Structure 1
Amino acid sequence: MTEPILDDYPSLSLQKSSVENSVEPIKLGNKIKLIRNQLGLTLEEASQRTGLARSTLSKIENEQISPTFQAMQKLASGLNIDMPQLFAPPENKGASGRRDITLKGEGKPHPTVTYEHELLATQMTQKKMMPFKSVIHARSFDEFQGWVHHDGEEFLLILCGEVIFYSEFYEPLTLVEGDSVYYDANMGHALISSSKEDAHILWVTAK
């Protein structure tokens, strides 16, 4: 089951009041438009590169919708940039020893209808992993527009609560605090909370 491109990136109206009251989504439109213009690409050309509909790109650039995490990965891949470049200007390259510290609660928030992400280590560019913490608001697979697919491999660790991990080629798996799973992100997957309170997880996506 593969979700349509346009439906994969819905307007993130943040239907859940808990999300609305906690954080505001990052406004990425101006940054994406700047990168596109620096590359000398029209909206149509950027659409062909990223696989996102031209109308969807236009809405993202004009802050009419907020891109999902999967949409940001397609933008980064299609525009040949690292995802952190969507959140901060590139660092000056120099010494090989680098580090990026994210203090508790100071990650970049990116809420969606089903997940509330907190992106970590966003200042460091040219890295091979993208770590982020997430609160899982979804309670049913039906809340997703079909399977989630994206490039790379992914690791998730349950920090608290209980989740059901759905994957395209395996039976649903219940995971509790301390459990983890590593999987091919090209395989359809989705995650819902099955505990009374929304589960919290650590997610790491690798190229």
Structure 2
Amino acid sequence: MTEPMTTPTKPPTLGEVMRGIRARNRWTLKEMSAKSGIPVSTLSKVEHDRLTLSYDKLQQLSQRLNIRMSDLFAEEGEPSAPRVTGRRSIGTIDNAVRVTTDNYDYHYLCTDLRQKRMIPIITRIRAHSATEFGELVRHQGEEFIYVIEGRMAVHTEYYDPVVLEAGQGIYLDSSMGHAYVVADGCEEALVLGVCSSADDGLMDSLMSLHGEGEGGL
């Protein structure tokens, strides 16, 4: 007998996650506003998916509600659920979680999967020099960056800068100081980055770096 086909589960929106948090705590919008410091009207628009929040506001929610930043991107699964090997997620810009910093626009893909060993990110680079970028960043793991559009310059602490064209990529040790900036002659560059680590805390580590406006993947 043929098994019935199942429809892929759509990842929760930020609004759905926010409603879930409020429902579990039995808070009214007014109570959640008082606890988070975010206006009722803003919370209402977020819950109805008519508005998103900046990184600063997400960080504020995380701190004041005493939850992890990554908990705002997908609902927690059952705590006793075993880790399975058949997981999958389809990532698009439309369902990505966006975080904007001075140097980059990050689009986190496949945020419905928890405890990923790889973090895929579409990034639009705006910084035009190492000076504009600021201090080199470092984090756990390794990463691969592939240029989709434009040209980018890669600065690292142990190598001379290298320019990558569209269709080229670079693999590097993320614990080595690094910075990605737009190469001469381009206004912006669009890249796909995949960050990997054996530690489960990679997502929170990346979010912490990005929130400080340092950039990097």
TM > 0.5 between the two?
Answer: yes
1:125/1:32 CA distance change after superposition, 3 Å: farther
SS of 1:85's partner is helix
1:30 pairs with 2:61: yes
Equivalent residue in structure 1 for 2:190, among 196, 200, 203: 200
Aligned-residue identity in percent: 33
1:165 is matched with which residue? 154
Amino acid at match of 2:103: T
Equivalent residue in structure 2 for 1:179, among 145, 168, 172: 168
1:154 pairs with 2:143: yes
For 1:8-87, list aligned pairs within 5 A: 25-26=54-55, 27-28=57-58, 29-35=60-66, 84-87=70-73
Amino acid at match of 1:121: C
Alpha-carbon distance between aligned partners in 2 of 1:152 and 1:144, rounded to the nearest angstrom = 21
- Offset of residue 33 of structure 1: 4.3
Amino acid at match of 1:201: V
1:10 is matched with which residue? none
Structure 2 length-normalised TM: 0.58
2:5 is matched with which residue? none
Contact 1:84/1:123 (8 A) holds in 2: no
Contact 2:133/2:181 (8 A) holds in 1: no
Structure 2: which 5+ runs fail to align?
1-51, 198-217
Contact 1:138/1:193 (8 A) holds in 2: yes
- Offset of residue 126 of structure 1: 1.5
For 1:71-150, list aligned pairs within 5 A: 84-92=70-78, 93=81, 96=84, 97-150=86-139
Structure 1: which 5+ runs fail to align?
1-22, 37-75, 77-82
Structure 1 length-normalised TM: 0.61
Alpha-carbon distance between aligned partners in 1 of 2:111 and 2:72, rounded to the nearest angstrom = 9
Amino acid at match of 1:114: N
1:196/1:24 CA distance change after superposition, 3 Å: farther
2:212 is matched with which residue? none
Q: Which has the higher Rg, Structure 1 or Structure 2?
A: 2
